[in-house]
Amino acid sequence: MAKITTAVLQKMKQQADKITMLTAYDASFAKLFAEQGVDVLLIGDSLGMVLQGHSDTLPVTVADITYHTKSVRAGAPDAFVIADLPFMSYATPEQAMQSVTPLMQAGANMVKLEGGDFLLPTIQALTERGVPVCGHLGLTPQSVHIFGGYKVQGKTDAAADAMLAQAKALQDAGAQLLVLECIPTPLARRITEALRIPVIGIGAGNVTDGQVLVMHDLLGISSGYIPKFSKNYLAQTGEIRSAIAAYVSEVKSQVFPGTEHSFN
């Protein structure tokens, strides 16, 4: 498997080769995912819920993400690794630059930030200093208390137009990747077609340039709520390696996500 870089991801978008991404938090699973052909590994602040047992992602710290980034990098030395910047660790460009330093030193290839227009100076500052950035729009879990819960975003014409404008602004500021979470499929199509950079969906239909899932959801072992946009591949295959291979295959062939995993 060829080494994945931002240039490779860009070429995959141009060639309509779907990008596969999974969250990873330790060396063993990172190694397994890389061996099964997962293109990108994300150290998500979802670890606050699936590993630490919190009800949301807000308690996660930069130190937590740094620790798990080191673990993932050790297990998958050639993988393309994205590390989440946790809640309130990038309130200003200066704070963001301090926060990304241990993540990049731990082995991240890129960092991910949630939000729109307020992030533009931060994204510009990071990219100017050699830190690749992934944006995140739609349902941004760090803003769950503002949204009043985990709700689909961009449902009105005005909200959809605003999100498209924000996506373009993030790209123009220097973002090289974008995650769209829990938005209607037609809006995901509009944004994906409008951007030069790859767009990764989670609960955004199969029209984006790739897909990401939380590994615990994919394996059906998350405690409590399993989101509509996920699929239990372990129940389908009965074996972890086969589950990951099935996920990669179904994303590449656009079988997953189906309409039952999407919002229209």
- Which are the catalytic amino acids? 181
Cα separation, 36 vs 31, in Å, equals 9
80, 9 in Cβ contact below 8 A? yes
From 104, 165, 94, select the one nearest 135 (Cα to Cα). Answer: 165
H or E element: which one contains 64? helix 62-75
**Helix 93-105 to helix 62-75 angle, to the nearest 10 degrees?**
30
Which residues does the annotation place in the binding site for Mg(2+)?
A: 45, 84, 114
Is residue 150 helix, strand or coil?
Answer: coil
136: left (phi over 0), alpha (psi -120 to 50) or beta: beta
DSSP H helix total and E strand total for the chain: 12, 8
From 264, 182, 186, 163, select the one nearest 230 (Cα to Cα). Answer: 182
Which residues does the annotation place in the binding site?
A: 45-46, 84, 112, 114
Which residues does the annotation place in the binding site for 3-methyl-2-oxobutanoate?
A: 45-46, 84, 112
Strand spans (E) along the chain: 19-23, 40-43, 80-84, 110-112, 133-138, 177-181, 199-202, 210-213
H or E element: which one contains 34? helix 27-35
Cα separation, 25 vs 47, in Å, equals 7
